[in-house]
């Protein structure tokens, strides 16, 4: 896998005290890497271009909507 470009964060990213954010990266062969921005040296999860497109289509179709504003949920007890 060849590297090209930079890791990107969502334009909707709003920093929180927990620092929740994921970053994505497109490798030269089209594979998409996803990692936790808090731990940039950890291994990224890798997705084929087809799997990534299916995920994006699901997001756009609302398949992952929680039905509430998840930014207001108190996650102080979330595992670290």
Q: Give the predicted TM-score (pTM) of the model.
A: 0.66
Tokens of 24: 């994505």
Radius of gyration, alpha carbons of the chain: 14
pLDDT given for residue 43 in this prediction: 92
pLDDT given for residue 17 in this prediction: 62
Please list the ranges in the chain whose pLDDT falls under 70.
Answer: 1-5, 11-20, 68-80
pLDDT given for residue 1 in this prediction: 56
Kindly report, residue by residue over 40-51, the tens digit of the pLDDT. 899 999 999 999
């Amino acid at each position: 896998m060849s590297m090209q470009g930079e890791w990107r964060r969502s334009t909707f990213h709003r920093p929180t005290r927990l620092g929740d954010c994921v970053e994505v990266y497109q490798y030269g062969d089209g594979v998409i890497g996803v990692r936790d921005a808090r731990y940039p040296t950890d291994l990224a999860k890798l997705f084929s271009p087809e799997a990534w497109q299916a995920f994006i289509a699901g997001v756009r179709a609302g398949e992952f909507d929680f039905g509430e504003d998840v930014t207001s949920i108190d996650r102080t007890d979330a595992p670290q």
